[in-house]
Each structure stands twice: as C-alpha cells, then as structure tokens.
Amino acid sequence: MTPTLERIEERLREVICPRCARYTSKKTCSLPPDRKCAIFRSLPDVLEIVRRTHSWRIDPYADTLRLRVCAECPHEDDHGTCPIRESLDCALDAYFPLVVDEIESEFRRIHASESTPVYRDPL
Ligand code: SF4
Ligand code: SF4
C-alpha cells in the first residue's frame, strides 16, 4: 500500500466509520467476515476516479463509480441492480459524497505540502 493510500484509508476510517450504520458501540464493523467494506475494497479505484474527475457536482463521480466499481462488484446484477445499494447497506454508495470530499481534501493537503518550498540554512 502506498503512503497516500494508507493515509487516506486511515482518514476515511476516522471520518466515515463512526457515521456508518455498520459501526458498533465497540468501535468495530458489523459486516459479516465474507463481506469486505466496498470503500476499502475499492479504494485504489475510488482514488483514481477522484483524481481524474473535476466537477462541483457529485454526478460525474457517481457515474464513473457505477461504471468502474459497481460493474465489477459481485453484488451488482446484469441489469445494474444492487440489492445492497437498494437496502442502503453499501457504505461506499451511502457516504460517497463524503468519501469524495475527504479524498479531495487529502489530495489538496498532499499537493500543498509538496509545493511548499523547503528553506535550508546556508552552508
Ligand atoms: S461498513 Fe465500511 S464504513 Fe461502515 S463501519 Fe464497516 S468498514 Fe466502516
Ligand atoms: S453499490 Fe452495490 S455494486 Fe456498488 S460497490 Fe456497493 S455493493 Fe457493490
């Protein structure tokens, strides 16, 4: 895992999990062991979607999510229907605007720290 991916995953676990219906009073996730959270399972793809999409509206991000992530997800059927999404039990779908905001903020922080000039004492 790259440092950026690691940092973003950590941030999303801090921000999204406590808001999620699957978060327990013991601060654990109640998803069954054979169902990995779609946010963290698909994080590299989601990062790429956010990196390549530039819009004030969420729709272009969500459209690409459907094409790139949902179409490959085992829960979506051949008609583009997902029972997990319909029962509001996919955290990636339910919190997608917040996920995008957090990733964009993290990208801005990384960009700002990379473009800050480093002043060194003269030798
Ligand atoms: S479903 Fe995902 S977002 Fe929700 S608590 Fe579990 S790991 Fe966190
Ligand atoms: S909305 Fe459904 S198809 Fe899309 S990632 Fe979530 S579970 Fe998978």
Q: Summarize pLDDT for 57-66 with one digit per residue, the tens.
A: 999 999 999 9
Q: Is 19 helix (H, G, I), strand (E, B) or coil?
A: helix
Q: How far apart are CA 37 and CA 34, in angstroms?
A: 10
List the structure tokens of 91: 């955290």
Residue-level pLDDT at 91: 98
Q: Is the CB of 12 under 6 A from ligand 1?
A: no
pLDDT tens digit string along 12-32? 999 999 999 999 999 999 999
Identify the CA nearest to 94 among candidates 24, 27, 22, 35. Answer: 22
Residue-level pLDDT at 1: 74
List the structure tokens of 62: 């969500």
Residue-level pLDDT at 112: 86
Measured on CA atoms in the order 93, 96, 99, 103, is the torsion positive or negative?
positive
Distance 37 CA to ligand 2 centre (A): 10
CB neighbour list of residue 63: distance below 8 Å, 6 or more residues apart: none
pLDDT over 90 (residue 110): no
Q: How far apart are CA 81 and CA 84, in angstroms?
A: 9
Global pTM exceeds 0.85: yes
pLDDT over 80 (residue 53): yes
Residue 37: pLDDT band with limits 50, 70, 90: very high
| Ligand 2 interacting residues, C-beta cut-off 6 A | 38, 69-70, 73, 75-76, 82, 84-85, 90, 92-93
